[in-house]
A and B are shown apart, each in its own frame.
Chain A
Amino acid sequence: MKKKLEEHRDSELFYMLKGDKQTAEKAFAELYARLSPRVYAYCKRFLGNREEAQDVFQEAFVKFFESAKVEREMQNAPAFIIRIARNLCLNRRRKETVDLVSFEEYMIEDYEQLSDKEELLEILKAAIELLPDEYRDAFILREYDGMSYQEISEITGEKVANVRTRIHRAKQKVRDILQPYLREMQKFN
């Protein structure tokens, strides 16, 4: 019995991208459904800017599709496209001049209208953007994309030990920023 599209593995769908247009379209749509949330989350949280994130997101998927014509095998499609997106994000960051501001200056929005949880989320987003690139990179790949240390090591080209350290330090920095708000919420809960 013919397999349904959603029953195919990522590697099989990647191989189908080389087929005729109809097959490639269906395979791409299924891969897009599986991978787009993680890729979008990485681009959005790494770059912080919505328009830039969307540009990189689109470019990443176009490169992903075009690579199917060249690549013979694909063992880990999520890691592959995340790597593409990561490289594009890093290139985009290198072109920018970043003005460093303090956390207090960064937090200029009025959160009075938000609930405690919504406010905490906004602060988390701000904290992630304040992380150095290598820490932010590791934090997003771990917490948003659910990558293992080994996968992060393959994507970033860093040793696993370094990945561990970066993730730990990134989380500690985020925790340091969020801690006062977490204590406040615990008081009222």
Chain B
Amino acid sequence: MNMNKNTQNTPSELLTRLLDGELEYGQEQLLYDKLAQDPELQAEMNDMIAIRETVRRDTDAFTPPAELTNSVFSTLGFVAPMNQYPAPKRRYLLRYSVLALLFLAVSTFIAYQSDFIFGSKIPVVSSIQTEDGETRNTSKTNDAVTRSESSDLAVSNNSVSKNNALTTEDRNASSSLINIPSEQKPIAEEAPESESATTVQSNTNKDLIAFAETNQDGIIYNQLIDQSNSIIIDNPIGRHINDKQKAFSNSFDFARAISNIDSRNMQNTYSSGKREKTLNLRGVYAISNDENKLQSSIIESFTIAAFISSGFVENLSIGAEFGREPYNQIFVKQQSAGYVQDPSIVWLGIGAKYDFTEVSIYGITPFAQLVAGGSELGPIGRAFLGMSKTYSNGIGFNFGIESSLMLYKNQNKYYTSDKVSLSGGVLYRF
């Protein structure tokens, strides 16, 4: 083959054709032989390969912006293509499964650990002696006349265990016995004479101990005694044998002031105050940007958020929030020859909520909530200002305005996507 410079068969031209896949079969071997001998030709080939690799990295040239695609389709009267590439069903299944598992894990943790960590609100009363001399366990179930075959509340005759508040010994025992020391007898003697044994549950609260006894008339006296052996509450709760409701209500009121006698948890919530937990489920609808137009259904454009919090200090609660919602973004996922926009993302964060109870009006309380966390694409921050109202049964509602900001990266560039939304939902305090 003639490699005359005056033709189109110079080594350099052949090399160009070789790299473009346009070299004829008969010319290949000649070029290979030339390449093997000519370092300058080898260098040229390396440069051409490097240029081609650089072109491959020019992804910006191959990606039409989302707004341009929208413009093309809307000009033709069509819907934007990102709506025609819904997320695979299995991705939705995975997302909802993860959310459901997370919700179950968090709620389980709160439900089973709250007693241990925050103290139980379950009010209890001591066992009581009935008229027929039978001792019954009145604890745990808030039932004043619950019979328990295997009660962990043993009957004791005016005895106080070493782990109660009136002694200087260890207070952390799970024993349910309290032996009232002899010096306590004047207190007991001040009460109506009792023929029956009295048992109370000890508690590890260092300040208070519950004491109850029944006199011969069947009247139960409940007493709350502090360390100085002073009676804080001396409350006759009346006949209880057949008056379950009366006994229950009276004992319930009293029980709110005494410690939890759960054999597993001996903390006293009387002096420690309540740590309220709140679950808030709400929807969020964006009003600031137009990603709603990009979604094919209301479901796609609707946000669901769940905030689980626990009281930290007065008016301030700390919790976790998670949800899913669409954010306006450039193409992020590659599909066929181009990129498509992800319809929605999942996010999770830690938050704090402050209730401005001091400016509450008709029970409607302003609040501010901040959440910081992460999403599938990057970090996310949220701020929620609104009003809430909770009824006596613990159920309530809230509504307000929310602003959020997401940071994400695409093709080596960082972007922010923000939105302002209306939000509202239901909440449950427990």
Contacts and interface: CB of A to CB of B under 8 A. Distances in A.
| Same complex | yes
Interface of A: 6, 21, 25-26, 28-29, 32-38, 40-41, 44-45, 54, 57-58, 61-62, 65, 117-118, 120-121, 124-125, 142-144, 148-149, 161, 164-165, 167-168, 171-172, 174-175, 178-179, 182, 185-186
Contact of A45 (B61, B71, B78): B61
B51 A174 contact: yes
A28 B54 contact: no
Interface of B: 8, 12-13, 16-17, 20-22, 44, 46-48, 50-52, 54-55, 57-58, 60-65, 68-69, 71-73, 75-79, 81, 84, 335-338, 412
Question: Which 6 pairs, one residue from A and one from B, show the smallest C-beta to C-beta distance?
Answer: A37-B62, A41-B61, A168-B16, A40-B64, A25-B78, A29-B81
B166 to A, nearest CB: 74
Contact of A37 (B21, B63, B81, B84): B63
Contacts of A44: 60-61
B78 A178 contact: no
A172 B78 contact: no
Given A54-B65, A62-B72, A164-B13, 18 more contacts: A6-B336, A26-B84, A28-B73, A29-B78, A33-B335, A54-B64, A62-B75, A124-B51, A124-B54, A144-B61, A148-B22, A161-B8, A165-B13, A168-B16, A175-B47, A182-B47, A185-B50, A186-B46
A14 to B, nearest CB: 15
B76 A41 contact: no
B163 to A, nearest CB: 69
A58 B81 contact: no
Given A58-B68, A62-B72, A125-B58, A40 B22 contact: no
Contacts of B75: 58, 62
A37 B8 contact: no
Contacts of A65: 76
Contacts of B72: 32, 57-58, 61-62
Contacts of B50: 120, 178, 182, 185
Contacts of A40: 61-64, 68
B414 to A, nearest CB: 14
A110 to B, nearest CB: 17
A57 B60 CA distance: 15
